[in-house]
Structure 1
Amino acid sequence: MSLKKNVLANYLGQGWRAIMSLAFVPLYIKYLGIEAYGLIGIFVMLQAWLSLLDMGMKPALGREMARFTGGGHDAQSIWNLLRSIEIVAFCLAVVIAVGIWSVSGWLATNWVQAERLPVSVMTQAFILMGLVVALRFIENIYTSSIAGLQRQVLQNVVTCVMATLSGLGSVVVLVWVSPTIEAFFIWQGLISLITAIFFMIVVYCILPQPPHTARFSMLALIKVWRFAAGMLGITLLALLLMQVDKILLSRLLSLEDFGYYVLAGLVAGGLYILITPVGAAFYPRFTELVTRQDDLALKKAYHLGAQLVTVVMGSAAVMLIVFSERILLLWTGDPELTGQVAPIMSVLALGTFLNGLMWMPYQMQLAHGWTSLSIRINIVAVILLVPAILWVVPIYGAIGTAWVWVVLNAGYCLIGVHFMYRRILISEKWIWYRNDVLIPIIVAAAVALLCCWGMPVDIGRVGEFSVLLVSAICVLVAAAVAAPIVRVKLTRFVLG
């Protein structure tokens, strides 16, 4: 499967899933009530934290599947690894379901502070949450395998269909069957079960049949344990880095100020949607090329991926930074809210963009099986981040925390990445800085400032939207033309 098709499929899939996750929220709240919808928020949080229980198996399996496409495994060895991880995953899924069931009563009574939902309803909801999380835990094993095998078009088509059934089907169930949180989670569980079974069948059909029956192999697990353990550490530290500011600010700020910060973070965090599809498509390709020891193709793919990140994410970040007030006012229609949130959003968008620049270097490290660098850097980051927030917030408030986020990620770009280039892609560091990052983003920023300077005022919401859309297109095109490899690809596409 071509890299271009995988990137496009990932963008379409990610975009559609985002639409499905947001489109029906007002209806969920209408039929379930805000308290029951809060349980859905808890479900999302549980799913994120319980993903740590895969102990790095999911990314490890995806990497080994990519190595299989590059000749790093034969049919028997990859099947043995898959079967071994399947057995471990099924056991952990049972632990998740039973574990949440065993504490469901305590969670409903002591953790959740509800005024209208009965304890019995919340207890049943937590039990169903455990079943759904367990099923999605298993599902992730197979989606990771399909991504590693670079069949991401198929993966995204199926995922989009299931996301539609999950979102739209939930509304149908709530409107015509039962407007209860239990019915909602039962439907989610049914969709997760169907999805897991379908993806399992797909993986079984794609992989060539082994000469002998696949079996559990401790040796196969031992061979990937170091990479898996490293991924577990990286995931844990990444969760801490992404959540520690919210945990601390919820205690240090007033609820109103914390709400402004959360809203700003929600918008700035949306930038990740633009680069996740790129990383998902390029990582298996990197792994395949590393396995084949094709250094020239690896360098070309790396710079293409890095330039795509700068062009796509950088253009959006520049728009959020330069037009923050106009975008927020257009969206919310609330001048007071805009005045509070826009400055924080601009700074968070800058920090998130700097964090996104590390996406391709990070994927390259994983393709080489090198996880220790990210772990060490993130440990230092967590150690510095907590006291920095505690020191800054009493003086500067939420905006101070946003600037801490910028400084932290600037450190990644200016210091942390140098350690990678000392070991892999040794001669590519300054090419990355110049061609992949600086030239495209400087051109994008210049065009955005020019558009802002010439932007008319008092043109109404439709006019405002139209001008912002045209400005965004101009910024995106300018960044794409300024990125050397992207420009060549774009020229070939336009000229046919």
Structure 2
Amino acid sequence: MSKTSLKKNTIANYLGQFYNMFIGIAILPAYMTYLGAEAFGLIGFFTMLSAWMMLLDVGLSATISRQSASLKHSLEGMLEFKQILRSVESVFLVIALIIAIGVWSADNFISNTWLNIEVLDKNEVAYCISLMGIMIGFKWIVGLYKGAINGFEQQVWINIYGISINSLKFIGGFILVKYISQSPSSYFEYQLVIGIIELLVIHNKVYKIVPKSENFIMPSVIMLKKIMPFALGIAYTSGIWIVLTQIDKLLLSNILPLTEYGYFTLVAVIVSGMAVLSGPIGTAVQPRMTSLISTNKQDEVIRLYKKATQFVSVIGFATAGTVAVFSTELLYAWSGNMEAALWAGPVLFWYALGNGLLMVLAFQYYLQFAHGNLKYHIWGNTLFGFIQIIAMVIAVYTYSAIGVAITWFALQAIFLLVWPAYIHSKFAKGIHKEWMLKDVLPAMVSTIVVLLGFKLLNLDLLSFGRVELFALLFCIGGVVLGINALVAKDTRKMILKRFGRR
């Protein structure tokens, strides 16, 4: 893949992810307005439940991405990949059915026992949960096909596809709840229809990419055995990751009233939107790093890894810092609900800071994934995961949402201090000190200094109207981002080079 293609994919990923983030952020407060906080909490529960069901993926969608990246260079490789895809598909279809039946079987327990429902009809909630099971099954198979297309590095298409589907989901959903029906069941029925369309479109795309074969390719146990060692490594680490990032949301869904869980969902949406800032770089860089390693270009891998980390630090710390410092103001400007903003603001402060650190931590995984060696990732996440799960359970049942948020930040800070140094000693010896001092810390320090300066101004931001407040917060974030870009060496060079050309 050429540098031009890498750049094109990175730009496409950012445009696609930013649109999807923007459309979600723009529309979601309207869902709370027209459906109510409890129904909005139900949407948050669906998002959390979808994440937990990814435990059944057993690493196969990520493995498909790596297989398509590795085998795409020849016709023989593509035919082998098609057989692998067919084999994995058969597994996914069976498990998707299990998911749908399993969630349907548990719908009454969830609506009557697990969730703290005060206003909504519990029978309607149970029906919505059964619809969730079907949607999760479809979404799960879509994830497999997305992995294949990402490995082929056709990320321009995948982003156009994502923009189209999310427009139908969010804009169509908004029209539904505002003008047609405020019933939660109508909302989930509509989303089910879009889920079916999403699956059909991406299935057709994948089978246009892979070459046609004379005979129908049957699933192969041999092919599954071939990829399972790597897949199981991915499955274990992905499983730990899901548990670590979703255990708080699962437990809080049980102890919080569904209305407050709706407020907490606002926090989760903003935090997931922050992850969008680093996701496109990882999506573009990961297959590129895999290809470079397969051609034994280790020096290029390290350069790409360092530049990508620095770029994410510049963007991630500016965003995380601004969101954290002005969390209550941001939530009010976004939702227009002062009660939700006052409840969720302190929680968002700590989650935003923790996720800023997490953006940087993600690149250690990309480095190991590209080498096809997840041994250290497995052991490290097992150890830290065990500690984090215990800490989260204690925090949830002792201090509720705010305790969970503080615990989340503290654990990510400890992880950043310990883990990258160890991984670099195994896969990129000798770079850690320079990586930390030149690629990570400059943006972190400049973010702290600039935001501290803004806080010392003692601006009464809540006196502004919502539109003016949002614009002002955007400008503050832009100032922090601009200064971060100038203090980061590689990013500064890129900016100066662009202006020099002009």
Indicate the TM-score class for this superposition, using the shorter chain for normalisation: 0.7 to 0.9
Deviations 1:192-245 (A, max 9, x none): 222212112212222344576533222222222122212222222122222334
| Stretch deviating more after TM superposition (88-97 or 440-449) | 440-449
**Partner residue in 2 for 1:154:** 157
Letter in 2 for 1:278: I
Of 172, 196, 200, 1:197 maps to 200
| Stretch deviating more after TM superposition (238-247 or 410-419) | 238-247
User: Is this contact kept in 2: 1:67–1:73, CA < 8 A?
Assistant: no
**Partner residue in 2 for 1:348:** 351
State the identity %: 29
Q: Distance in 2 between matches of 1:465 and 1:26?
A: 14
User: Is this contact kept in 2: 1:317–1:349, CA < 8 A?
Assistant: yes
Letter in 1 for 2:160: V
Q: Distance in 1 between matches of 2:376 and 2:8?
A: 31
5+ residue gaps, structure 2, are none
Shift of 1:84: 0.8
| Stretch deviating more after TM superposition (200-209 or 391-400) | 391-400
Change in 2 beyond 3 A, CA 1:488/1:257: same
**Partner residue in 2 for 1:305:** 308
Letter in 2 for 1:313: G
Change in 2 beyond 3 A, CA 1:107/1:314: closer
5+ residue gaps, structure 1, are none
Change in 2 beyond 3 A, CA 1:179/1:361: same
Q: Distance in 1 between matches of 2:123 and 2:463?
A: 50
Letter in 2 for 1:359: A
Q: Is 1:494–2:499 an aligned residue pair?
A: yes
Change in 2 beyond 3 A, CA 1:275/1:36: same
What CA RMSD, in Å, does the superposition of the two structures yield over aligned residues? 3.7
**Partner residue in 1 for 2:429:** 426
Change in 2 beyond 3 A, CA 1:7/1:193: same
Q: Distance in 2 between matches of 1:102 and 1:459?
A: 47
**Partner residue in 1 for 2:232:** 229
Q: Is 1:41–2:21 an aligned residue pair?
A: no
Q: Is 1:8–2:11 an aligned residue pair?
A: yes
**Partner residue in 2 for 1:219:** 222
Equivalent residue runs for 1:115-130 within 5 Å: 121-130=124-133
Q: Is 1:360–2:363 an aligned residue pair?
A: yes
Q: Distance in 2 between matches of 1:357 and 1:399?
A: 24
Q: Distance in 2 between matches of 1:175 and 1:392?
A: 38
**Partner residue in 2 for 1:374:** 377
**Partner residue in 1 for 2:277:** 274
User: Is this contact kept in 2: 1:71–1:291, CA < 8 A?
Assistant: no
User: Is this contact kept in 2: 1:343–1:399, CA < 8 A?
Assistant: yes
Change in 2 beyond 3 A, CA 1:275/1:72: farther
**Partner residue in 2 for 1:89:** 92
**Partner residue in 1 for 2:246:** 243
Of 62, 68, 71, 1:59 maps to 62
Q: Is 1:188–2:191 an aligned residue pair?
A: yes
Q: Distance in 2 between matches of 1:324 and 1:148?
A: 37
Letter in 2 for 1:475: V
Q: Distance in 1 between matches of 2:121 and 2:257?
A: 29
| Stretch deviating more after TM superposition (24-33 or 95-104) | 24-33
**Partner residue in 2 for 1:472:** 477
Q: Distance in 2 between matches of 1:456 and 1:36?
A: 35
Of 275, 282, 286, 1:283 maps to 286
- Please, what TM-score do these two structures have when normalized by structure 1? 0.85
Letter in 1 for 2:494: K
User: Is this contact kept in 2: 1:290–1:368, CA < 8 A?
Assistant: yes
Deviations 1:122-153 (A, max 9, x none): 45433332222222222111111111111111
User: Is this contact kept in 2: 1:309–1:356, CA < 8 A?
Assistant: yes
Q: Distance in 2 between matches of 1:285 and 1:271?
A: 23
Q: Distance in 1 between matches of 2:186 and 2:459?
A: 50
Letter in 2 for 1:132: M
Equivalent residue runs for 1:96-115 within 5 Å: 96-105=99-108, 107-108=110-111, 110-111=113-114
Q: Distance in 1 between matches of 2:268 and 2:292?
A: 36
Q: Distance in 1 between matches of 2:399 and 2:407?
A: 11
| Stretch deviating more after TM superposition (157-166 or 368-377) | 368-377
Give aligned pairs, total: 496
**Partner residue in 2 for 1:485:** 490
Letter in 1 for 2:303: K
Q: Distance in 1 between matches of 2:21 and 2:265?
A: 18
Q: Distance in 2 between matches of 1:450 and 1:32?
A: 40
Shift of 1:257: 9.7
Change in 2 beyond 3 A, CA 1:443/1:424: same
Of 74, 77, 87, 1:74 maps to 77
Q: Distance in 2 between matches of 1:183 and 1:23?
A: 21
User: Is this contact kept in 1: 2:116–2:257, CA < 8 A?
Assistant: no
**Partner residue in 1 for 2:141:** 138
User: Is this contact kept in 1: 2:115–2:254, CA < 8 A?
Assistant: no
Letter in 1 for 2:386: I
User: Is this contact kept in 2: 1:62–1:147, CA < 8 A?
Assistant: yes
Change in 2 beyond 3 A, CA 1:404/1:192: closer
- SS of the equivalent of 1:357 reads helix
| Stretch deviating more after TM superposition (107-116 or 255-264) | 255-264
Q: Distance in 2 between matches of 1:107 and 1:335?
A: 30
- Please, what TM-score do these two structures have when normalized by structure 2? 0.85
Shift of 1:416: 1.6
Letter in 1 for 2:373: W
- SS of the equivalent of 1:358 reads helix
User: Is this contact kept in 2: 1:162–1:191, CA < 8 A?
Assistant: yes
Shift of 1:281: 1.8
